Amino acid sequence: MSSVFDAGDAEQVGPRNKNLKILAEQRINGLKKLAADPDCRAWLWQFLEQSAPLATPFDIHSDSKTAFNCGTKIFTAQILDQMLTHCPAEYYLMKHEAKEKDGRPGKDLPERD
């Protein structure tokens, strides 16, 4: 017999909130570990560049591409937000490293094509 979750029951909500907090801490710790490694920062910057989280997701030629871009934008915007919140120095280091590698001043995340 399966039990139904009751959001009004503190005995059921407490353990669930504890688990959610642990998962959030694990995600943040994982991001910090990625941000601490130069190769991981390079990979992450390339991922953010390709995903273009700051670009408009709309594609006038394809509704399905717009839907895909919206999903990608939400996912990458969350990563970018978590990085700026929990390891901002590493974000700016990553940005600086990408600028040096490409030799272009003011390298920033691109707009989507």
- Residue 111 resides in a domain: no
Domain carrying residue 20: 10-102
Please name the amino acid found at residue 88: P
- Residue 3 resides in a domain: no
What are 56-111's pLDDT values in tens digits? 889 899 999 999 999 999 999 999 999 999 999 999 999 999 888 877 655 566 55
- Residue 49 resides in a domain: yes
**Domains identified in the chain, total number:** 1
pLDDT of residue 55: 83
pLDDT of residue 107: 57
Confidence of residue 11 (pLDDT cuts 50, 70, 90): confident
Inter-residue contact 18 to 73 (CB < 8 Å): no
pLDDT of residue 1: 46
Closest to 112 measured CA to CA, from 46, 43, 59: 59
pLDDT of residue 110: 55
What are 15-69's pLDDT values in tens digits? 889 999 999 999 999 999 999 999 999 999 999 988 888 888 898 999 999 999 9
Dihedral-angle region of residue 37 (phi above 0 means left; psi in -120 to 50 means alpha; beta otherwise): beta
- Residue 31 resides in a domain: yes
Report the C-alpha gap between 74 and 39 in whole angstroms. Answer: 24
Confidence of residue 13 (pLDDT cuts 50, 70, 90): confident
